[in-house]
Amino acid sequence: MLQSLRIRNLALLAEVELDFETGFTAVTGETGAGKSILLGALSLLAGARADKTIIRQGAPATEVEAALFFADSRKLDAALTRLDLPPCDDGVLILKRSLPRDKAPRISVNGSMATLAALQELGEYWIDFHGPGEPRRLLKEGCQRELLDLFAKNEAALDQYQKTYRLWRDLVDERERLLGAEKLSADQIEFLKIQLGKVDALDLTEEAIAELERDFQRQNSAQEIISLASGLNHGLSGEDGLLGRLSAILREARQLESLDAASKPLADRLQSVAVELGDLDAEFASLASSLNFDPEQAEALQGKMNSWLELKRKYGAKVEAVLAARDEMRRKLELQGDVEGSLAKLEKQVADALKAAKKAAAELRATREKAALQLAKTAAKVIVQLGFKKADFRVSLTPLPELGPYGDGGVEFLFSPNVGEPPLPLHRIASSGELARVMLALKAVLAEIDDVPLLVFDEVDANVGGEIGRIVGEKMADIAERHQVLCVTHLPQVAAQAANHFVVTKDQSGDRASVGIEPIHGDRKGRVGELARMLGDRNAKSAVAHAEELLKG
């Protein structure tokens, strides 16, 4: 849900910070007061494109910022990870967008820089607009199909179909690779075999290659290492070495101990130094002797290193690159063995997989067809309640020329507001008010299954009277039990049913017009006055009484 929204220097608005509650929120105000500013701020955060004319006159930049809370942010976090953005902290998503007058725009998501495309993709997870000029998620064919599947409880059927579809596509791709595989000559086959032999002769693991490179480096520096290690060994235990001199010093320390018992710890520490130096002497001696490679060892090590360097030059500097090249060479050789036989086997596998995928698609289509009739019937009832007495609403399943990732057909919602007119796809409905009410009807039916938390309605009450307005408000209140609903409205019958209420005002008393937005749901007198204004006159007793009745209702 939307928790807070901060807007600075957007159009005529200087600055406002708003806190939002769950449920149904109405936004009202005089015509031309600037109610669209609130929707414009949300559009910016949902990734809408904008030019610099929206920046308040004289201000350096327009800035909008929102905090949203998700009780379960797993799907959103997966999208954020895919976009290389930080996940939500305790389910909170922070969005910021700045549009400077003289600099490049800036977008951040959870404190990290983001692109406009990322903001648009994230918008699909938190907001759904229904109003003129806004990006409407429900108009997209993919969303309509998704909602129908949710209504039909098709999760298991869709998952089963997609498994069979992916298997079929993988087999088709393998067949295409086999058909396009080049026929190798005898010399090319022999070359691949030689290269494979070189790869297989090496232990191609990160640890083994690191050990090979270390041993080779030591062999190349063997004489210098032996000289230094032998010198250190001689310095410790050779004639007049440190250990011999330390032995004499240790005897004197023990003599001191016999005269003064308090000096024993000092003698013991000296003894420890002597033991440690003895161990070092043995290790230097061992290092010097270990590097006496015999000629056969040296030649074998040199051969392995040469092979590894050759493979690195040909296939890549890392072990995984060489292993990938090895697998590709093996695949090419395997294909040369029995191309015709492999193709015949693959053709049968492709045919069997296609048959299984078509069967799964038919089962998926059958559940969609049944659900489409039920959804259309249920939505049509609500559409009639919203003032469309002779409307026609249908859910159409259109066949595809071949199987796709989601089945063998597309899903399209069709609507006709008037009798005798053919139903058209939702995106071809001319009136934004009609479209908004159709969307409201669908949202009322699909509220339990559509998981977008914030629904925004604008002009949903266009060209409807008070009676239909009351029903519009009731439907929004119903939806608000499962979603956060924000509605810009001119009807008091709608606004009165909102749990939360913001008023937008325009002040032109000074030298410069300004817009303000403030909550009034905690001020009953102020809310009654606003509803009375919407009814015709905030000072008329009849309007005030009517407003009181609407709030009580």
pLDDT along the chain (553 residues), means of 10: 96 93 93 85 93 92 96 94 95 96 94 95 90 63 86 91 95 82 74 83 82 77 74 83 86 88 90 88 80 69 82 83 84 69 84 95 94 91 83 91 93 87 81 73 77 85 74 88 91 92 89 90 92 90 92 81
Give CA–CA dist 161/169, Å, rounded: 12
Give CA–CA dist 220/113, Å, rounded: 50
212: helix, strand or coil: helix
293: helix, strand or coil: coil
CA 21 to chain centre: 26
Q: Cα angle at 546 between 545 and 549, to 5 degrees? A: 90
Give CA–CA dist 300/305, Å, rounded: 9
Task: To the nearest 10°, report the CA torsion of 244, 247, 248, 254.
Answer: 180
* pTM of structure: 0.60
* pLDDT, tens only, 124-170: 899 988 765 554 667 777 888 988 998 898 999 999 999 999 999 99
Closest residue by Cα to residue 49 from 126, 116, 113, 140: 116
pLDDT at 513: 86
Distances (CA, A) of 496 to 386, 447, 459, 469: 17, 21, 16, 10
* pLDDT, tens only, 316-359: 888 888 888 888 888 777 766 666 677 788 889 999 999 999 99
Give CA–CA dist 52/83, Å, rounded: 27
Closest residue by Cα to residue 478 from 24, 26, 2: 24
Question: What b/e sequence results for 52-77 when a residue is b if at least 16 CB atoms lie within 10 Å of its CB, and e otherwise?
Answer: eeebbeeeebbbbbbbbbbeebeebb
Distances (CA, A) of 181 to 175, 195, 323, 344, 349: 10, 19, 20, 15, 19
